[in-house]
Structure 1
Amino acid sequence: MMTPKKLVVVAPHPDDETLGCGGTIARFADLGAEVSVLVVSGHLPPLYDRDVFETSRKEAKAAFEIMGVANSQFLAIPATLVRDTPVATLNGQIEGFIRSAAPEMVLIPFPDRHVDHRVIFDACVVACRPSHPAAPTAILAYETLSETHWNAPGIEPAFVPELFVDVTRHMTQKKAALASYASQLNHAPSRSIDACMALARFRGSQNGCEYAEAFKVVRIVV
């Protein structure tokens, strides 16, 4: 797989980028890619106090530094209320970030059980349309523990990946970045660091390496 010179990752919430593709971010950053992360929503009123959002933003910044992220932006849309944002506004904000970064590759959330993930997936696909010369040539959807695997089989889209990235040498960074999210991760089996490591080990076992991250291909132009 090509190593992009510029990579954009769109995260519905702080920690989704690390859960889904933290090893891939670290790997490409280590290879010299300029990585930019857009965090679309966060823990804000009316469901959360503002200080919860500020805590998670600080945690995200710490995780970004560990993984080698060069640029980041937080749109600060309240979590679970992304669908209440006018479609043109949301699409425009995401497209604006992607166009300004001019990446060859964009990593986006798989449209899973979380309503924010589904809405943001749709907006990302619109933003990545090959309608201009600088459009990204690789768009991949990542899986997110505790959301992607809770879809209803046979009724909703299933995450059946076609592309895998060997992240064996970068799992230490992923684990450290995950640990930065003390307020977000808990010790429940579905969202613990151990579960993230287990998933990466399973994906690696499917592909002859120790650890891997998996992606659905939206589009790749060679």
Structure 2
Amino acid sequence: MKVLVFAPHNDDEVLGVGGTIAKYAAQGHEVFICEVTKSNTDEEIKEERSEALAAHQLLGVKETIFLDFPIVTLRETPLVKINAEFLKVVEDIRPNIAFIPHKGDMHMDHTVVSHSAMVALRPINGIKVENIYAYETLSETEWNLPTVDNAYMPNVWSDISKFIDIKKEAMNCYQSQLKQPPHPRTLEIIEALAKLRGSTVGVPFAESFMLVRRLI
């Protein structure tokens, strides 16, 4: 089985899907990560991509695809260009399962990626993705305006009790992105959220998702 994760920025994939990525990889499935944006300077790009590759190696990712869209300004980028790049990724990988960011996140890059990912994942031209899930990203999903349209309402949970440590270890690779408590992007808060999500379904640690589409 092939699993594709769209990440607007380096580290979003670990925050939202890190434990589930590690679980899929441990089960022998092929996991692909598409990192959509890059930072503004060559030094920052080199650092962030080095961190991403280190994190993905720990998680067991098969391949990391780096796109070159500028960070923060995806909203000003023609959607036709973003859609075309995403479609190439989907056509090359032909995933069975896809994870995309929640469209109601604070950062507009997340909204654009969510929209363009859904365009690329349409069931046409021989592409049939069996399951699509939206994931939450600490400091993005919970910080936006509390409106009905922005609400994150999980209805799928992944038990990551055996993988919470490797999720934290992978996030620790992103030293350029980690903060200090009480900021959400800390190992302490990552574990706390996983405990909260786990408590909903009676397991020690979990990641939660919103089901977008499922083919039975």
Report the TM-score range of the alignment, normalised by the length of the smaller protein. over 0.9
Deviation of 1:77 (Å):
1.4
- In the alignment, the residues of structure 2 paired with residue 179 and residue 54 of structure 1 have an alpha-carbon distance, to the nearest angstrom, of 17
Q: 1:130 aligns to what SS in structure 2?
A: coil
Q: Counterpart of 2:147?
A: 154
Within the alignment, does 1:62 sit opposite 2:37 as a pair?
A: no
Matched, 1:104 2:96: yes
> TM-score scaled by structure 2?
0.96
Which residues of 2 match residues 133-172 of structure 1 at below 5 A? 133-154=126-147, 156-172=149-165
- The amino acid that maps onto 1:117 is H
Name the structure 2 match of 1:208: 202
Determine the structure 2 residue equivalent to 1:9: 5
Contact 2:171/2:187 (<8 A) preserved: yes
Q: Which residue in the other structure is 1:75 paired with? A: 67
SS where residue 150 of structure 1 aligns? coil
Does the aligned pair in 2 maintain the 1:37–1:72 contact within 8 Å? yes
- Identity, % of aligned positions: 38
The aligned counterpart of 1:31 is: 27
Q: RMSD over aligned Cα, in angstroms? A: 1.0
On the 8 A contact 1:7/1:103 being kept in 2, the answer is yes
2:14 corresponds, among 6, 11, 18, to 18
Q: CA deviation at 1:129?
A: 0.9
Runs of 4+ in structure 1 deviating by more than 6 angstroms, as ranges, are none
Q: Is the 8 A contact 1:99 1:135 kept in 2?
A: no
Secondary structure of the structure 2 residue equivalent to 1:51: helix
Rounded Cα–Cα distance in structure 2 between residues aligned with 1:127 and 1:135: 11
Report what 2:43 is aligned to. 51
Partner of 1:118: 111
Q: Which runs of 5+ in 2 are unaligned?
A: none
- TM (norm. structure 1) is 0.94
The secondary structure found in structure 2 opposite 1:168 is: coil
Unaligned runs of 5+ in 1: none
